[in-house]
């Protein structure tokens, strides 16, 4: 027990609790002002009537001053919910299972601490200044009789609570943070985390150890700090729940002065004094992440295990003779970094002088890095990465790297292969598997090999250690770096050897602002290098819409008079810039229909529309507003607004128990023609619309650098009928650089369907990119079609049609398009060239529900007549920023395709709404598309149905400006309550399983397990040859034949039995649930094993190439050896039974399948070990996901603002 | 840059909310908001024509943007009267004796509960004086920031945003935070009657503004 806690230990449980109890039960004395609400009134009014609550500091802040940030608004209805929450917290504290390592004494003390607090029913009021509330009524609560208000006195301390319920109180200082208070109380302790509960109820986690220190707010006077101490190992969830419970209590009142830890003056520090930081601790900082020469997060040349948060992106440039690198990197997930790079080698030519002149050699490449392990107090962050994966492999390398932070130092140590380990001073540890790993195929700069995954030979050849340290100096903008480089520059690719006198590089990064890094390095002991990075978190881009029209004033009073409806329509158009087609009254509903309403952030538009309607539409009769949009003749969507709930939320601060969802989205299936409606405004559709403006198209990634064209353009639409229209566009090119475009020589005999782009750009300054007639319609509410003809895009004209199946709010849609097209003349007029073809695709669109990832898969015939498929994966953030990658593989061989081998690219889309002060529907798109080729080329249609039916998603309100998560912290705590959800259908269960599997892949536990399983498999591989020899010598014996037959049949038998049990037993029973888990696990096991076969490509024993013969990532790997599909399915299917019925002997039965697969020489032993481990993992996962007592299901959370509930998959 | 947004967001809405919360009686705050709302478009010269002669205004300048705040209340508190000024956006600026003692805005930074110790009166101020300021600041929950202040008389500067009157007609003071604060110095221009006519104040190293009693023809904020 530390002295500080010890000094308060005398207060332990009873006394401490007694004191705190006094603070609240005798609030009149301790809390400053406490009073019941006698009559309904606004909080601002109540405060203004109490001058004693408003007195500022008489001279300086002290304990006698009213403390409005700690105001407590007590609402009896909220207290009921908080009682449940408290009870649940106590259950967890008293449960041995919740924290078996916590002593029962400590648990009892903490339980007593919690039990002594009342449930207050506190509702957080974020701002309490009455003068401000008066004019910001949506933040001003309406008080009701029976409620109470407390304005506490201003405390002068901060109170720490430990896991055993002991507290320690420290004098407050504006310059101290949670870390500092923790040290004041227990200088010898080693707490890792704390939860700071601010007086206004905000709860935030703070890292208080050297490895996890982060930017954090200073605790205000009266704040609680719940300290997580390894000596009392409560799960974080319990500590957080305790913190949130304390947030309902208000400020921690001061103890008598003798029990308060006073602040000592900081010892003099000469350096800090010189730097101007004397006398105050350095504010806690996040670990500084910076980009290396390769444009990914790392040191100078080498990577680290670090990752930025999802949504970050960077454009980096570096110059280290003879290389100039331009890199774009994206952090698509918190655990996945993707980078694309373009490297110019200044002392090598791109090709023969008569082909590409003096163009320097250009290398395109793709890198990725995956985080396997999160950093913790004892463990480093651990990542695996691949460099130059998708290009020539000239700079190809792989690495494993670990990083560990200690305050301002961030250490990294890694093992590199290929370019990263070219020093080769270590052997390859993987050579224990096969001697093949000792040799790495030489990379070639031949462009024909670029992008060919078949030549990908990862983790081959000798290795080298690499690593170093980054130091965050006391001056925040400056970082210093030192590293040991594993590369050997005297043996560079293409014999481009460079002088190197030292393996150590050192340098500095200067950050003039948070978005720019300027690097200066001394590398190889011989070379001065420099770099620059522009970076930022695109997912947090946000711009207040100060240039948008303002909402109409909102009053709690409802108009009485019938308005001038033309005036209402004019106001609606002014506020939205959309054309009003109709306004109708239908019973108690008012329906407004706009023409082609479109927006990225809909919430603001809906608010402005409703503000107009509420201000002018009589209130007694109209209680619901419906906002619809007529687009292409398709009735898809409407917003439905509960007028009373909407008005209440905007004219008063509403406690959680009374909050309603005022705006909802509905399918407009019941249409606009309400039988009892009467039209108030009726206008025809505006037939002709158009716009003029500038255009700028670009592409980059090729040897020419960026290609662009800039010009002016005009576009028009003429709606013959709402569902039938003509679209045309004219462009006048002002400037372009497509004359620089290089079309490398290749063996391609494909028709030139895309590679003549330079001629399309340069033949005529005036072009007509599109001239098209389109008709669209609904077959029913879920099926849509369109037919179209004309000049469909800049290079193709013709006719086509599309059908799309897209149910309302469905995560999955499916469509087919077929087009008969002919190549257009280069002038983009009405002329055609000779080439014509039939092209079309079947497309599936899937909103995976996993970390906002969307997938689109297309399969069909491409423009050059090649057949194949395109996969597009993207992540969309709340503010609409989208990061994605696509790849197309067709039946065109890599040689035919030319450089790049197959079509691929990455892109970032950013809505202008994220960066402009005025709302816009435009989207800026940056695409990295290394090379334009003829294989895998797709028709760029103007009106794809999936885009036209975007409102079918029914989630338009989901997108909006980024919001600081701190503002939404209240009410997000989760805890386990019994599952109250109804039984789901088998299909929805299966869908949930897929999502669940996807989510689990995103966890570090998953990747840790994978690493562990890989290790066991690796070890087992030493028995591959002996086991195969045994099979060869004894496998033909009758007993072994019987085992082989039986073992091979077992998976099918188990799955069949599971099917019968699932169908036959009572839904929800233990057997039925287990059987479903078994079936699902078997299915996932089968899919997983097939996918791994394609990835690993190990030869079977019968092939005769030995156990070390691999052909990674090959389309012909379908019958490859690793892992064993039979054993994967078998182990996956039996594990749920073994778990549910505590029958480990079933694993012995499953092992018969292993024996069968090895004795029949179908697999190596390690194949079956891998299959067993994989199957067990899947079976265990499915079992835990579906067991009746699982933690999966509905979860509840509580805060001062109320209760939140959501569905959680364990 | 919260004040930059004064007058641009939800101006009328706030006004009517104020009406409804006050039970349809026009309170001073409401009248001030209404007035600030009416004035929130266009430049100072344009707006000056729309002034309500019954109200007092502050012409506030943030960078190149000008806007007008209207006086809603003068709260009589123990430390002295505090003027409560409203923007059309519902932001609240509090001044006591020409010094900022509070600012609450939509986007911050906010200063709350500013108090002083040993603060000399303008009329009694010689060439130089020291006093102490304590304030709470958001975001970041930096409550109880104690600062030692130094105020000294300076020559009329040329680089001000003062309008319609020469700076030489006023007495000028510069107020700095002693120690390692990153907040730039404030400047005050005091009229012959001992009231502050114009001031420049930074709430952080990134957010600065100036204010001037308006109309400037001898009417001063007090």
| pLDDT tens track for A127-152 | 899 999 999 998 999 999 999 999 99
As a whole number of angstroms, the distance between CA B147 and CA A173 comes to 13
Q: How far, CA to CA in Å, does A897 sit from each of A4, A444, A449?
A: 73, 18, 11
Least Cα distance to A591 among A577, A615, A609, A603 occurs for A609
Helix (H, G, I), strand (E, B) or coil at A764: coil
As a whole number of angstroms, the distance between CA B127 and CA A828 comes to 78
Interchain contact, B115 vs A551, CB within 8 Å: no
Cβ-nearest to A221 among B11, B77, B144: B144
Q: What is the pLDDT of residues A853-877, one digit of tens each?
A: 999 999 999 999 999 999 999 999 9
Q: What is the pLDDT of residues A806-844, one digit of tens each?
A: 999 999 999 999 999 999 999 999 999 999 999 999 999
What's the whole-number mean pLDDT along residues B47-51? 60
Residues in A closer than 8 angstroms to B144, CB to CB, are 61, 172-174, 221
Least Cα distance to A893 among A916, A864, A922 occurs for A864
Give the single-character DSSP code of A152. Answer: P
Specify which residues A291 forms β-bridges with: A297
Q: With left for phi above 0 and alpha for psi between -120 and 50, is residue A495 left, alpha or beta?
A: left
Residues in A closer than 8 angstroms to B112, CB to CB, are 69, 129
What's the whole-number mean pLDDT along residues A89-113? 91
As a whole number of angstroms, the distance between CA A106 and CA A1023 comes to 50
Size of interface A-B (CB pairs under 8 A): 148
Q: Is B136 a member of any domain? A: yes
As a whole number of angstroms, the distance between CA A828 and CA A757 comes to 11
At the topology level of CATH, where does A312-540 sit?
Porin (2.40.160)
Least Cα distance to A454 among A1160, A1, A1110 occurs for A1110
Q: A1056 falls in which pLDDT band (50, 70, 90)?
A: confident
Least Cα distance to A529 among A544, A518, A537 occurs for A518
Q: What is the pLDDT of residues A755-781, one digit of tens each?
A: 888 889 889 999 999 999 999 999 988
As a whole number of angstroms, the distance between CA B103 and CA B105 comes to 6
As a whole number of angstroms, the distance between CA A531 and CA A296 comes to 12
Residues in A closer than 8 angstroms to B91, CB to CB, are 132
Cβ atoms < 10 Å from Cβ of A281: 15
Residues in B closer than 8 angstroms to A277, CB to CB, are 180
Please tell me which residue, A442 or A436, carries the higher pLDDT value.
A436
Q: Name residues whose C-beta falls within 8 Å of residue A76's C-beta, 6 or more positions apart in sequence.
A: A121, A146, A147
Residues in A closer than 8 angstroms to B15, CB to CB, are 135, 553
Q: How far, CA to CA in Å, does A996 sit from each of A71, A324, A878, A974?
A: 42, 43, 21, 18
As a whole number of angstroms, the distance between CA B156 and CA A314 comes to 48
Nearest CA in chain B to A138: B17
Interchain contact, B146 vs A219, CB within 8 Å: no
Q: How far, CA to CA in Å, does A1111 sit from each of A448, A602, A1165?
A: 20, 50, 19
> What is the least distance, in Å, from the CA of A456 to any CA of chain B?
50
Q: Quick one: what percent of chain A has pLDDT higher than 70?
A: 85
Burial class (CB in 10 A: 0-12, 13-18, 19+), A470: buried
A688-958 is a CATH 1.10.1740 domain:
no
Residues in B closer than 8 angstroms to A137, CB to CB, are 14, 17-18, 20-21
Q: What is the pLDDT of residues A335-350, one digit of tens each?
A: 999 999 988 888 777 6
Q: Is B222 a member of any domain? A: no
Residue A278, pLDDT score:
53
Q: What is the CA radius of gyration of chain A?
A: 34
> What is the least distance, in Å, from the CA of B168 to any CA of chain A?
34
**Architecture of domain A565-681 in CATH?**
2-Layer Sandwich (3.30)
Helix (H, G, I), strand (E, B) or coil at A76: helix
CB of B103 closer than 8 Å to CB of B94: yes
Cβ-nearest to B13 among A57, A132, A554: A554
Q: Name residues whose C-beta falls within 8 Å of residue A694's C-beta, 6 or more positions apart in sequence.
A: A710, A711, A712, A713
As a whole number of angstroms, the distance between CA A1209 and CA B205 comes to 46
Cβ atoms < 10 Å from Cβ of A161: 25
Least Cα distance to A635 among A942, A956, A948, A946 occurs for A948
| Residue whose entry in the numeric block shows the structure tokens 């799960």 | A235
Q: Is B219 a member of any domain? A: no
Cβ-nearest to A554 among B16, B29, B139: B16
Cβ atoms < 10 Å from Cβ of A1067: 11
Angle at A29 between CA A26 and CA A30, to 5 degrees: 80
Interchain contact, A134 vs B29, CB within 8 Å: yes
> What is the least distance, in Å, from the CA of B145 to any CA of chain A?
6
Q: Is B220 a member of any domain? A: no
Q: Is B104 a member of any domain? A: yes
CATH number for the domain spanning B6: value is 2.40.360.10
Q: Name residues whose C-beta falls within 8 Å of residue A328's C-beta, 6 or more positions apart in sequence.
A: A295, A313, A314, A315, A316, A339, A340, A341, A906, A926, A928
- Tokens representing A819 are 């087009």
Nearest CA in chain B to A156: B144
Tell me the torsion sign for CA atoms A159, A162, A167, A171. Answer: negative
Residues in A closer than 8 angstroms to B84, CB to CB, are 131
Least Cα distance to A1161 among A1052, A1038, A1033, A1042 occurs for A1033
Q: Which of A136, A175, A176, A574 to mutate to test the interface with B (most CBs of B within 10 A)?
A: A136
Interchain contact, B104 vs A44, CB within 8 Å: no
Q: A789 falls in which pLDDT band (50, 70, 90)?
A: very high
Q: How far, CA to CA in Å, does A1125 sit from each of A598, A1000, A1103, A1122?
A: 50, 21, 18, 8
- Tokens representing A267 are 């010892």
As a whole number of angstroms, the distance between CA B164 and CA B143 comes to 38
Interchain contact, A550 vs B102, CB within 8 Å: no
The answer, yes or no, to whether residue A1038 has pLDDT greater than 80, is no
In which domain, by residue range, is B80 found?
2-214
Cβ-nearest to A140 among B15, B21, B101: B21
Interchain contact, B113 vs A135, CB within 8 Å: no
What's the whole-number mean pLDDT along residues B135-149? 91
- Tokens representing A585 are 């009254």
As a whole number of angstroms, the distance between CA A38 and CA A45 comes to 13
Cβ-nearest to B9 among A45, A173, A546: A546
Parallel, antiparallel or unpaired: strands A397-406 and A409-418: antiparallel
Q: What is the pLDDT of residues A400-415, one digit of tens each?
A: 999 999 999 999 999 9
> What is the least distance, in Å, from the CA of B105 to any CA of chain A?
9
Nearest CA in chain A to B32: A135
As a whole number of angstroms, the distance between CA B94 and CA A897 comes to 71
How many domains in chain B? 1
The answer, yes or no, to whether residue A982 has pLDDT greater than 60, is no
The answer, yes or no, to whether residue B39 has pLDDT greater than 60, is no
Q: What is the pLDDT of residues A493-503, one digit of tens each?
A: 778 888 889 99
The answer, yes or no, to whether residue A949 has pLDDT greater than 60, is yes
Number of helices (H), then strands (E), belonging to chain A: the values are: 25, 47
| Residue whose entry in the numeric block shows the structure tokens 């590369």 | A487
Q: B14 falls in which pLDDT band (50, 70, 90)?
A: very low
Cβ-nearest to A544 among B5, B29, B139: B5
Q: Is B145 a member of any domain? A: yes
Helix (H, G, I), strand (E, B) or coil at A145: coil
The answer, yes or no, to whether residue A318 has pLDDT greater than 90, is yes
The answer, yes or no, to whether residue A5 has pLDDT greater than 70, is no
What's the whole-number mean pLDDT along residues A669-687? 74
Least confident window among A101-115, A621-635, A874-888: A621-635
Nearest CA in chain A to B24: A557
Q: A991 falls in which pLDDT band (50, 70, 90)?
A: low
Cβ atoms < 10 Å from Cβ of A715: 17
As a whole number of angstroms, the distance between CA A95 and CA A1164 comes to 47
Q: Which of A60, A134, A277, A552 to mutate to test the interface with B (most CBs of B within 10 A)?
A: A134
- For the complex shown, is ipTM > 0.85? no
Residues in B closer than 8 angstroms to A174, CB to CB, are 142-146
Please tell me which residue, A924 or A339, carries the higher pLDDT value.
A339
Cβ atoms < 10 Å from Cβ of A614: 24
- Tokens representing A88 are 């649940």
Q: A446 falls in which pLDDT band (50, 70, 90)?
A: low
Residues in A closer than 8 angstroms to B72, CB to CB, are 131
Q: Quick one: what percent of chain A has pLDDT higher than 90?
A: 48
> What is the least distance, in Å, from the CA of A879 to any CA of chain B?
19
Least Cα distance to A1154 among A1146, A1143, A1163 occurs for A1163
Interchain contact, A131 vs B92, CB within 8 Å: yes
Burial class (CB in 10 A: 0-12, 13-18, 19+), A723: middle
As a whole number of angstroms, the distance between CA A1084 and CA A1100 comes to 23
Residue A671, pLDDT score:
53
Q: How far, CA to CA in Å, does A105 sit from each of A109, A110, A163, A898?
A: 6, 9, 11, 72
> What is the least distance, in Å, from the CA of A89 to any CA of chain B?
28
**Range list of β-strands (E), A912-1024:** 923-928, 975-976
Interchain contact, B17 vs A135, CB within 8 Å: yes
Domain boundaries, chain A: 3-261, 312-540, 565-681, 688-958, 986-1186
Q: With left for phi above 0 and alpha for psi between -120 and 50, is residue A7 left, alpha or beta?
A: alpha
Q: What is the CA radius of gyration of chain B?
A: 17
Domains A312-540 and A688-958 share a fold: yes
Residue A285, pLDDT score:
92
Backbone angles phi, psi at A346, to 5 degrees: -70, -20
């Amino acid at each position: 027990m530390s002295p500080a806690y010890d000094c308060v230990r005398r207060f332990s449980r009873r006394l401490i609790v007694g004191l705190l109890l006094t603070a609240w039960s005798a609030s009149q004395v301790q809390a400053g002002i406490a009073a019941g609400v006698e009559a309904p009134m606004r909080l601002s009014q109540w405060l203004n009537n109490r001058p004693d609550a408003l007195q500022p500091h008489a001279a300086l802040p002290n304990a006698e001053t009213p403390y409005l940030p700690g105001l407590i608004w007590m609402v009896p209805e909220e207290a009921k919910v908080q009682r449940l929450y408290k009870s649940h917290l106590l259950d967890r504290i008293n449960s041995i299972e919740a924290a078996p390592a916590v002593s029962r004494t400590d648990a009892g003390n903490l339980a007593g601490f919690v039990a002594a607090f009342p449930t207050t029913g506190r509702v957080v009021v974020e701002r309490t200044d009455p003068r401000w509330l008066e004019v910001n009524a949506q933040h001003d609560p309406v008080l009701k009789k029976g409620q109470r208000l407390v304005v506490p006195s201003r405390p002068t301390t901060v109170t720490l609570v430990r896991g055993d319920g002991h507290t320690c109180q420290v004098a407050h200082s504006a310059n101290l943070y949670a870390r500092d208070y923790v040290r004041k109380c227990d200088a010898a302790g080693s707490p890792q985390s704390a939860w700071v509960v601010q007086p206004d109820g905000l709860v935030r986690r703070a890292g208080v150890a050297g490895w996890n220190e982060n930017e954090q707010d200073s605790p205000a006077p009266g704040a609680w700090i719940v300290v997580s101490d390894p000596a009392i190992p409560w799960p974080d969830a319990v500590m957080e729940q305790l913190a949130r419970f304390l947030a309902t209590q208000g400020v921690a009142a001061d103890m008598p002065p003798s029990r308060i830890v006073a602040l000592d003056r900081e010892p003099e520090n000469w350096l800090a004094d010189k730097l101007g930081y004397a006398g105050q601790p350095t504010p806690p900082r996040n670990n500084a992440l910076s980009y290396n020469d390769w444009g990914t997060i790392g040191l100078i040349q080498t990577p680290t295990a670090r990752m930025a948060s999802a949504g970050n992106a960077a454009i980096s440039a570096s110059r280290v003779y003879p290389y100039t690198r331009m890199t774009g990197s994206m952090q698509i997930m918190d655990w996945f970094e993707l980078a694309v790079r373009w490297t110019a080698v200044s002392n090598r030519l791109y090709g023969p002088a008569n082909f590409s002149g003096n163009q320097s050699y250009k290398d395109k490449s793709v890198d990725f890095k995956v985080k396997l392990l999160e950093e913790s107090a004892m463990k480093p962050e651990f990542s695996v990465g691949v460099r130059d994966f998708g290009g020539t492999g000239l700079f190809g390398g792989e690495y494993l790297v670990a990083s560990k932070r200690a305050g301002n130092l961030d250490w990294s140590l890694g093992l590199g292969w290929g370019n990263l380990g070219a020093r080769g001073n270590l052997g390859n540890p993987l050579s224990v598997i096969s001697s093949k790993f000792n040799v790495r195929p030489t990379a070639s700069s031949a462009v024909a090999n670029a992008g060919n995954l078949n030549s990908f030979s990862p983790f081959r050849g000798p290795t080298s250690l690499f690593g170093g340290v980054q130091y965050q100096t006391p001056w925040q903008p400056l970082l210093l770096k030192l590293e040991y480089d594993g590369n050997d520059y005297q043996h560079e690719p293409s014999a481009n050897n460079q002088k190197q006198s030292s393996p150590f590089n050192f340098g500095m990064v200067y950050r003039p602002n948070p978005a720019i890094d300027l690097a200066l390095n001394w590398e190889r002991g011989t070379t001065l290098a420099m770099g620059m990075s522009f970076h930022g978190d695109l997912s947090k881009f946000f711009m207040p819409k100060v240039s948008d029209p303002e909402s109409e004033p909102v009053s709690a009073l409802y108009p009485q008079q019938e308005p001038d409806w033309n005036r209402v329509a004019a106001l609606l158009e002014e506020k939205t810039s959309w054309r009003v087609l109709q306004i109708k009254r239908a019973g108690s509903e008012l329906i407004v229909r706009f023409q082609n309403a479109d927006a990225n952030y809909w919430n603001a538009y809906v608010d402005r529309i409703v503000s107009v309607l509420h201000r002018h539409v009589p209130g007694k009769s109209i209680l619901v507003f419906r906002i619809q949009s007529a687009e292409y003749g398709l009735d898809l969507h409407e917003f439905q607004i509960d007028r009373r709930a909407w008005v209440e939320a905007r004219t008063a601060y509403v406690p959680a128990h009374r909050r309603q969802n005022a705006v909802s989205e509905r399918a407009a299936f019941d249409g606009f023609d309400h039988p009892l409606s009467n039209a108030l405004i009726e206008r025809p559709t505006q037939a002709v619309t158009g716009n003029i403006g500038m255009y700028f198209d670009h592409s980059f990634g090729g040897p020419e650098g960026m290609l662009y064209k800039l010009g002016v353009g005009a576009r028009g639409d003429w709606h013959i009928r709402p569902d039938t229209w003509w679209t045309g566009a004219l462009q006048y090119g002002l400037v372009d650089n497509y004359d620089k475009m290089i079309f490398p020589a290749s063996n391609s005999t494909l028709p030139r369907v895309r590679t003549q782009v330079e001629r399309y750009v340069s033949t005529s300054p005036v072009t007509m990119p599109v001239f098209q007639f389109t008709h669209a319609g609904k077959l029913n509410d879920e099926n849509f079609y369109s037919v179209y003809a004309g000049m469909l895009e800049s290079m193709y004209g013709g006719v086509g049609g599309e059908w799309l199946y897209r149910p309302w709010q469905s995560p999955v849609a499916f469509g087919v398009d077929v087009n008969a097209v002919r190549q257009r003349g280069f002038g983009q007029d009405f002329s055609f060239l000779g080439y014509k073809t039939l092209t079309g695709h079947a497309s599936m669109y899937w909103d995976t529900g996993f970390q906002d990832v969307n997938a689109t898969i297309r399969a069909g015939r491409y423009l050059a007549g090649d057949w194949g498929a395109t996969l597009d994966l993207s992540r969309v953030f709340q503010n609409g920023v989208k990061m994605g990658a696509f790849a197309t593989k067709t039946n065109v061989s890599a040689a035919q395709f030319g450089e790049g081998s197959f079509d691929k690219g990455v892109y970032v889309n950013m809505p202008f709404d994220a960066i402009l002060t005025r709302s816009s529907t435009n989207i800026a798109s940056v695409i990295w598309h290394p090379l334009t080729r003829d294989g895998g080329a797709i028709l760029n249609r103007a009106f794809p149905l999936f885009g036209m039916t975007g409102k079918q998603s029914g989630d338009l309100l989901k997108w909006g400006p980024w919001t600081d998560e701190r503002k939404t912290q209240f009410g997000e705590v989760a805890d386990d309550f019994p599952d109250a959800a109804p039984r789901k259908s088998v299909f929805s269960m299966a869908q949930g399983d897929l999502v669940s599997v996807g989510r689990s892949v995103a966890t570090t536990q998953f990747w840790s397990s994978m690493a562990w399983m890989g290790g066991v498999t690796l070890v087992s591989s030493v028995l591959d040859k002996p086991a195969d020899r045994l099979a060869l010598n004894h496998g033909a014996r009758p007993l072994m034949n019987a085992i082989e037959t039986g073992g091979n049949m077992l998976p099918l038998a188990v799955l069949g039995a599971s099917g019968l049990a699932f169908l036959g037993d009572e839904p929800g029973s233990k057997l039925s649930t287990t059987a479903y888990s078994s079936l699902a696990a078997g299915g996932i096991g089968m899919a997983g094993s097939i996918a791994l076969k394609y990835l690993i490509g190990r030869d079977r024993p019968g092939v005769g190439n030995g156990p070390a013969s691999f052909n990674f990532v090959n389309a012909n790997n379908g019958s490859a050896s690793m892992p064993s599909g039979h054993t994967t399915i078998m182990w996956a299917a039996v594990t749920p039974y073994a778990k549910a019925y505590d029958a480990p002997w079933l694993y012995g039965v499953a092992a018969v399948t292993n024996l069968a697969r090895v004795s029949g020489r179908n697999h190596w032993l390690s194949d079956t070990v891998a299959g067993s481990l994989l199957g067990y993992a899947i079976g265990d996962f499915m079992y835990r996901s579906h067991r009746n007592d699982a933690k999966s299901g509905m979860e509840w959370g509580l805060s001062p603002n109320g209760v939140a509930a959501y569905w959680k998959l364990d | 840059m919260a004040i930059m947004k004064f007058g641009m967001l939800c101006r009328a809405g706030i006004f009517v909310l104020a009406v409804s919360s006050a039970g349809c009686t026009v309170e001073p705050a409401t009248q001030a908001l209404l007035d600030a709302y009416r004035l929130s478009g266009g430049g100072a010269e344009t707006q000056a024509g729309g002034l309500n002669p019954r109200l007092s205004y502050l012409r506030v300048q943030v960078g190149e943007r000008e806007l007008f705040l209207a006086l809603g209340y003068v709260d009589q508190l123990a430390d002295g009267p505090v003027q409560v000024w409203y923007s059309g956006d519902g932001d609240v600026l509090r001044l006591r004796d020409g010094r900022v003692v509070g600012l609450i805005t939509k986007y911050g930074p906010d200063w709350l509960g500013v108090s002083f110790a040993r603060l000399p009166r303008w009329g009694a101020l010689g060439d130089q004086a020291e006093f102490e300021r304590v304030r709470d600041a958001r975001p970041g929950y930096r409550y109880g920031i104690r600062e030692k202040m130094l105020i000294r008389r300076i020559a009329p500067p040329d680089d001000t945003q003062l309008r319609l009157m020469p700076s030489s007609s006023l007495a000028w003071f510069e107020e700095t935070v002693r120690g390692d604060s990153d907040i730039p110095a404030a400047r005050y221009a005091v009229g012959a009657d001992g009231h502050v006519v114009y001031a420049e104040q930074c709430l952080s190293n990134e957010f600065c503004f100036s204010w001037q009693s308006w109309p400037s023809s001898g009417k001063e904020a007090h």
